[in-house]
Each structure stands twice: as structure tokens, then as C-alpha cells.
Amino acid sequence: MLVILLIGGFREHMYYTEEQIEKVRSGSDIVQIIGRYVNLKRSGSGYVGLCPFHSEKTPSFSVNPARQMYKCFGCGVAGSVITFVMEYENYTFPEAMQFLAEQAGIELPKTELTPEQKRQKNLRSTLVQINAKAAAYYYAKLKSPGGKQGYDYFKNRGLSDETIMHFGLGYSGQGGRELYGYLKNQGYSDRELSETGLFKIDEHGAYDKFWNRVMFPIMDINNRVIGFGGRVMGDAKPKYLNSPETILFNKSKNLFGLNYAKLGKRKNIILCEGYMDVIALHQAGFTNAVASLGTAFTSEQAVILKRYTDEVLLTYDSDAAGIKAALRAIPMLRDAGINARVIHMDPYKDPDEFIKALGNEEFEKRINDAQNAFLFEIEVLRKDYDITDPEQKTKFDHEMARKLLVFEDKVQRDNYIETLSAKYSIKKEDLRGLVIKNANMASSRTKKTFSQSDEYQKNGRKPKEKGIEYSYKLLLSWLVDSPELFGKVSDIVGREDFEEEPYKKAAELLYEQYEKHEANPAQIMNHFTDEEEHRQVAGLFHTKIKELTTVKEQEKALQETILRVKDHSIEEATKNLDPTDIQGLQRLMNEKRKMQDLRTLHISIN
């Protein structure tokens, strides 16, 4: 079992030409591919369904087969069929290409890699090999006489030899250079070893970062070892140590045990706080347990869990820190569209202690009795108030009403109002009235239409995420959604007015398509093969201001966006102008005079 788990590498990090990417993209039926993950229904010339990337009751996820693009009008995700597979399956760009090519029966030829691409490809493969060998070394060390301390620790925690082997658990030894020496003898260079995060290498020498620790190999969804966690034997600090971020290991986008949990027969997933809790639960037969990787639970991890389940059971420690962690995770799970429940383990601290004391059957009962996560939130909130005091009770009622605003669905919200009113002695009508009052207050705070020029005048600086980059995104998104605006916009803002990448390149490609009357935003993304660039460019075509509801508001925002992009372009040109360039100066003066006229120009979006 251990050998199977530790062997295996990444698919080749292939370089693909734009023609090959377009062949795969155009050869993949976006409706058919996405339809495997989302229940799509015909709506006009496109399809709609519930967004797989956030929680919603009313479908806002749209697939446009003509443009070969998808877009969610709720959370804003958008992209091509390649982007969707990358985001949903957590694939790299090459892995998504390989997946879609296989589905479409397209053979992707191998092409010559650039030196940097070869280095990255070889480095990733090498790091997978090193991690696999490191895991095998730690396991062998654990089972050797020199690993007795670590082996005894696991046995004292109640783990069987089968469980130890199943999870590839190990021991790092006490020497401080043992793994380094072993891998050096295997022929790996210091540069390669330093990229793993397993060693400290400097002018003073090389040392193992993990020593005198029991080791937990961290595997990705495809059973590849991407990192390690280690618990120290003794009182040294830190008690727990995890691999740093590497090109293989991203703590926010992986979960310990998910490679096994995804195969389980249970429909839900148990979210734990630590590695040992996961391992203890798996040994007890609860093979649907996972844990975050030494850091707090993240929204990215919630989205990953959504791919495998609609319900998560929280088993965080019953102490103050565990309750705080649960309260932090619940909204993230809710936003991801996951129903959360809380397993109470009193009088024990965690699942490991509970199962050792009371056994599997009792834990199964606790699962069945798990508490609704929102009711758990209210119960914890209630402890902050003395509800026998009228003033404290009033404050609690108001805070409870504010929390009820998380439910957009009226029926769902009314059901919670009925439950809470009975439990906390407040009339349903009064609680509903408080909810409406708080909803109106919240609406009035967010009703103001966003004005970029106002933001600049008030702050005197570029607001975060709403400066020129936001204007670029917004304008490109408008052009994609409303091709009929291109003539009006391009008369004012040219492709040269987009100053920064990747906006500049995306604008050039979009303008070129519109000039040829061949609008195809999905094809534009083929020009961006780097994973991060690809995701970023997908984001260029869905930026919207949710508060804009009327045509007048939209026209005002569009005009301000156009002026902002043009103003910025003139400002940058002025800064970079050669003082001796008289013609350039005159051209800029003319541009500025035109801007005065544009400020009074009405731009219709119809």
C-alpha cells in the first residue's frame, strides 16, 4: 500500500501552442462538459444552473454555447471550458488540457519546451520524486530500531500497524542531517533539495528541518506526496511543524486525508482540527474525515469540499480555540453552498479522545445528533449576553436578527425565525420585524452607487481594487457583454490606452476581434497559458458593479470608467513625455481639451 501511495508524478508540464489550445477548446462542448458537474437547463440561446462555486437558491450560473464561455452573475466567476475544469477539478493548465483532449479524442503532440519550461517541468517531477523518497525514508526509519520513540508514540495513541502503513507515517530521526545525507547519496543537488522545503541550506551547511519528529506525509487528491507535517518528540518548540509553501504545496488548496475521504461511501465529510483526529477516525471506520494543513480553514478549502459533498460535519476541539475555529469555518462553508453541522464531543476534547473513551457507536450517535451550524452560532452568541437583563436581551435579539440576514431565501429565513423565536422567547412577528429593520438599514448603507471619481476625490489616492486596474477590468467586461458598445467606446479609448499587462494584451486581442467582426473572448484566453495569467484574464471579462440596477446608473458608471481609463492614459503619457517633443506636447494638449468635451457627453448603452 505504501509503495503505491508514494510513487507517481505530475503529468508532464507541456507547452502548447495557441493552435493546439484552440483545437482542444473548440473541440470540447462546454455545455456537455459543464453539464456533468452542474444541472443545466435551457434558457433562451444558453443554459442556466446553480453555480458550483458559491451557494445560491436561484440559478445565476450561465453557459453561453455560442461564445463558449460560462459566467456566474452571482459570484462573478467566468471563463472557458479550460478554466472551468481547472477551477472545479483543481487541475493545472496542462492537466486540464490533457483531460479535455482525452475527452475529445484529440492527441496532443509533444512540442519543444523553452529552457525555463524544461526547468520547471523537471523541477516539479524531481520534487515529487524527492518527496516520495523522503516519505519512504521516514517510514523505514520509524520501523527501524532508531525509530522506536516515534513508533511507540503512534502505538500509544492507539494506531495499528495497518493504519501507520496506510497513511505512510514516519519518524525523522535525531541526527539533523540524516535525510539530507540520504538524498545527497541519491544524486540530488542542493538546489533541488532546497526547493522541497525539507532542508535549511546556507553558507554554514545543510540541515534537516524535521528532526526528532513523527512525520505525517501530506498527499494531494491524486495521492502524490506534496509536503509533510511533523510533531516533535519532547518539549521542543514548535510542537507542530509543517512544510513551507513550495511549487507543489499550497496549504490553502489542499486538505489532509481528502485523497481517501473522496473515495468514502458516506455522503458527508467530517472536518477535523488535526492530523491525528483524521487518522483516528479513519481507523475507526469514519473514512470521510479531513483536516486543514496546520493553518486555519480557508475559503479555498471550502470550495474544494463542495466538489465532493453538500454537508460537512465539524469536529473541532471543544475548547475556546476550537469553538472560535468552528465559528470562522461555518460562514465559509455556507458561502460555498455547504450545509454545516457541529458534532458535540463533550466531555471530551476531540474525536480521538472521544472514540478511545466511548467507542465508534457512540460517535455515530453524535454524528446523527449533530447540531445545525447556524443554531450553534446563535447558541455561542447567546453566552455573551445575560438574557435575564432586559437591556442585554434586547441587544441579543437585535444581534440575532442581524445574523438572520445571511439567509436570502424568505422561506428558509422564516423557518429559522420560527425556531429561534420559540427557543429564545421572542414573538415571531417581533423578530421578523427586527430582521426587516436590519435589512433596510443594510440596504441603505450599500445602495449608494459606486463612483470612481468620488472615491478619488474623497481619499486622494487609489482605492484598493478600485483603481485603474478595476477600470480596465470593468471596461473589458462591458465590451464582452455588450459588443454593440465597441464602436462608441473605441472612438474614445483605443487599445493603446490600456497601459498595463495583462490588460493591454487582452484589450489588443479583443479590439482586433471586434474590428474583424469575430468576437470570441474564449479564444483570447488561449494566448495566456500560464495558470495564474489564464485565471486572471478569465476574471477580466466578468467584473461588474452589483449595485447598479437602472440604465441611468449603468450609463453613468460606463462614462466614468471610460473617462478614468482615458485620463490615466493621458497622465502616463504626460509623465513620460520628452520636454523637447513639441509635437507630442501639442497632441497631449489636444487630448486634454477633448476630455473636457467628453465629460458632458452622454453615452447610451442601448
Q: Hey, is 465 helix, strand or coil? A: coil
**Rounded Cα distance, 543 and 324, in Å:** 34
Which DSSP category does 266 fall into?
S
The pLDDT, as a whole number, for residue 55 is 65
Phi-psi group of 81: left, alpha or beta (phi > 0 → left; psi -120 to 50 → alpha; rest → beta): alpha
Residue 461: band (very low, low, confident or very high) from pLDDT cuts 50, 70, 90: very low
Task: Say what angle helices 410-423 and 373-382 make with each other, to 10 degrees.
Answer: 40
What pTM value is reported for the model? 0.65
The pLDDT, as a whole number, for residue 28 is 92
Which DSSP category does 237 fall into?
S
Q: Which of 131-135, 394-398, 597-601 has the lowest mean pLDDT?
A: 597-601
The pLDDT, as a whole number, for residue 114 is 61
**Rounded Cα distance, 477 and 490, in Å:** 14
Task: Say what angle helices 503-515 and 531-540 make with each other, to 10 degrees.
Answer: 60
User: What is the percent of the chain where pLDDT is above 70?
Assistant: 85
Helix and strand numbers (H, E) in the chain are: 28, 16
Residue 445 confidence (pLDDT) above 70: no
* Mean per-residue pLDDT of the chain: 83
Q: Which residues, 6 or more positions from 290, have their beta carbon under 8 angstroms from its beta carbon?
A: 255, 256, 257, 258, 261, 269, 270, 271, 272, 278, 305
How far, in Å, are 134, 147, 168, 266, 436 from residue 218 at the CA level? 12, 20, 9, 22, 47
* pLDDT: which is higher, 107 or 530: 107
The pLDDT, as a whole number, for residue 408 is 81
Among the listed residues 361, 462, 492, 480, the one whose alpha carbon sits nearest the alpha carbon of residue 68: 480
**Rounded Cα distance, 522 and 541, in Å:** 10
Among the listed residues 296, 292, 266, 297, the one whose alpha carbon sits nearest the alpha carbon of residue 278: 292
Mean pLDDT of 391-420: 93
Residue 68 confidence (pLDDT) above 60: yes
Q: In what order do the strands lie in the sheet with 339-342?
A: 289-291, 269-272, 311-314, 339-342, 371-372
* pLDDT: which is higher, 200 or 337: 200
Mean pLDDT of 64-87: 84
Residue 442: band (very low, low, confident or very high) from pLDDT cuts 50, 70, 90: low
The pLDDT, as a whole number, for residue 452 is 39
The pLDDT, as a whole number, for residue 573 is 76
Q: Which of 167-181, 226-240, 448-462 has the lowest mean pLDDT?
A: 448-462
* Residue whose C-alpha cell is 467530517: 270
